[in-house]
Amino acid sequence: MHPDCEKIMLTEEEIRSRVKAVALEVDRAYQGKCPLVVGILKGSIIFYSDFIRDLSIPVELDFMAVSSYGSGAVSSGKLRIKKDLDKDVSGRDVIIVEDIIDSGFTLANLKALLHERGASSVCIVTLLNKVERREYDIVPDYNCFEIANEFVIGYGLDYNEQYRNLPYIGILKREVYGG
């Protein structure tokens, strides 16, 4: 385990089997369709690449980078589009793939934006859901794990751009972020 980790919250094996199960549900729900799968950079990349390989339906891939957080662990309260989609979403079934829902700010804004742009459906798939922290009315259509209010790293999730490449999800030691 990484020395900055308090403990491992979810092992590689636990993540692997849960992501597979959720992908199977999505696969069933989208039979006969070709959704645009939108990954939210950068936190979702590992989850995204595992998730899409567990789908048997045809998909198109696209990415967006937004920020509601600065470099640290405290929300700044404004959504900024840093990289927009390449594809036009009008008339498309869109699946947003996100690493974690915290306050719900990012996804509430993104979902509204994609509807405004004419997407015919927008569904949210998340790896982690911190239900306790919710401030915006947003519920993921598919969620892999509900977690307690801890700052977590690994499997794509970062603190100050570090730890994304850890293969498991760990709880970051409080002394590292001074929380």
- Which residues are part of the catalytic machinery? 102
126 binds, among Mg ion, ligand IMP, none (CB under 5 to 8 A by kind): none
Q: Give CA–CA dist 175/172, Å, rounded.
A: 8
75 binds, among ligand IMP, Mg ion, none (CB under 5 to 8 A by kind): ligand IMP
Q: Give CA–CA dist 46/151, Å, rounded.
A: 18
Q: Binders of ligand IMP among 51-70, rule CB under 6 A?
A: 68-69
Phi, psi of 158 (to 5 degrees): -120, 165
Q: Binders of ligand IMP among 74-133, rule CB under 6 A?
A: 75, 98-106
Nearer to Mg ion, 30 or 47 (CB): 47
152 binds ligand IMP, rule: CB under 6 A:
yes
CB-CB contact of 37 with 61 (8 Å): yes
Rounded to 10°, the helix 45-53/12-29 angle is 60
Task: Name the residue whose CB lies closest to Mg ion.
Answer: 43
155 binds, among Mg ion, ligand IMP, none (CB under 5 to 8 A by kind): none
Q: Smallest distance from the beta carbon of 57 to Mg ion, in angstroms?
A: 28
157 binds ligand IMP, rule: CB under 6 A:
yes
CA angle 63, 66, 71 (to 5 degrees): 125
**135 forms bridges with which residues in the sheet?**
none
102 binds, among ligand IMP, Mg ion, none (CB under 5 to 8 A by kind): ligand IMP
CA atoms within 13 Å, Cβ hemisphere of 35: 24
**37 forms bridges with which residues in the sheet?**
61, 95
43 binds ligand IMP, rule: CB under 6 A:
yes
Calculate the dihedral angle through the C-alpha atoms of 85, 90, 95, 101, rounding to the nearest 10 degrees: 70
Nearer to ligand IMP, 30 or 125 (CB): 125
List residues binding ligand IMP (CB under 6 A): 43, 68-69, 75, 98-106, 151-152, 157
